[in-house]
Amino acid sequence: MNLQKERMKMGVNVVIDDPAQLEKIRERESSMVIERVEMILKAGANVIFTTKGIDDLCLKHFVEKGAMAIRRCKKEDLRRIARATGAQMVSTLADLNGDEVFDKANLGQAEEVVQERISDDELILVKGPKVHTAASIILRGANEYSLDEMERSVHDSLSAVKRTLESGRIVPGGGAVETALHIYLEEWATSVGSREQLAIAAFASALLVVPTTLAVNAAKDSSELIAQLRSRHALSQRTSDPIPHPHKGPSDHNTPPPATKTSEADAKALAKAKGYKNYGLDLTRGKVHDTLKAGVVEPTMSKVKQLKSAVEACVAIMRIDTLIKLDPEVRGDPNDGHGH
């Protein structure tokens, strides 16, 4: 909504007989915007945001009434402020009858609106909105390059949190999922008695690229860490509860385990107590730990999508049965004497 002095549109001609009427027209142009300002202030507004300009005459009126007016705001910022404070964005004061009115229900509420100077910028801070909580993240850095990198990092972090909330389910991070799948597929491959075993084993080995790359990028001993990670997940999966066979009777289930399985029972209890199935890489201290307890998690939706994309890419490559390779184009004669 524009709070500048109203002027007649281009192409509009007004014919007057008395020069005094011209002054009345000019006064009316000024009084129209003043009436709008008074209408807004009478409704109880003490802070006004607008995407357009505000006439100096109106600014003087706001100052006299003890109100704050901010002009030339971004529309996206106004949407966020309106959503947080419960206000309604108003593009015009005209109702269906053509009269100009301002409803008090359009107003929002906040505890405080202040202007603060941060570095070289003047910022308007809306604190304590009444309807929804809202926050702004102010980044500070040595130069523009570091700030751009910080902004990308914060954006990625917020996107990860958003995706986690949308997914509703999480899985341990730090390469835990890939290592668990690697162990499971390796065990399954040994039970397949056809050439599909090679494909399953190759896919299982490819999954270890993720934790290996994480360790290498952190300048850690990837061989040692991956070995520890594989042993934890192997112990976790190989000591899982066995599935009872249908032909066994009730007496078979009540039979105590033989003494030779005491060590397996101890290993099973240890794996459950330690939470080995959630173990991933701790790249800060260079060891493996329970990433779920440490808060290193990933949204299930993203992990499933990554695995599906990887499989689809593999299938697309495997369907290629012909490869055409072109020799690079030779530019000019190499023996022309110019060295081109």
- What pLDDT does 103 receive? 85
Fold topology of 19-136: GroEL (3.50.7)
Q: Is residue 245 pLDDT above 90, yes or no?
A: no
Highest mean pLDDT, choosing among 28-32, 200-204, 318-322, 327-331: 200-204
Stretch 64-70: mean pLDDT: 88
Burial class (CB in 10 A: 0-12, 13-18, 19+), 200: middle
pTM of the predicted model as reported, rounded to 2 decimal places: 0.58
Give 216's pLDDT tier (boundaries 50, 70, 90): very high
Rounded CA gap, 267 and 141, in Å? 50
Rounded CA gap, 215 and 94, in Å? 64
Ranges 110-119, 289-298, 326-335: which has the least confidence: 326-335
Alpha helices, DSSP H, located in 208-340: 209-217, 222-238, 250-254, 262-274, 291-294, 300-318
Q: Which residues of 136-162 are buried (b: 16+ CB within 10 A; e: fewer)?
A: eeeeeeeeeeeeeeeeeeeeeeeeeee
How far does CA 224 lie from the centroid of its chain?
A: 34
Rounded CA gap, 236 and 179, in Å? 11
- What pLDDT does 178 receive? 93
92-151 pLDDT, tens digit per residue, is: 887 777 788 888 888 999 999 998 888 788 888 999 898 888 888 888 888 889 999 999
- What pLDDT does 338 receive? 58
Q: What DSSP character marks residue 86?
A: T
Stretch 238-256: mean pLDDT: 45
CATH superfamily entry for domain 170-242+262-318: GroEL-like equatorial domain (1.10.560.10)
Q: Is residue 274 pLDDT above 80, yes or no?
A: no
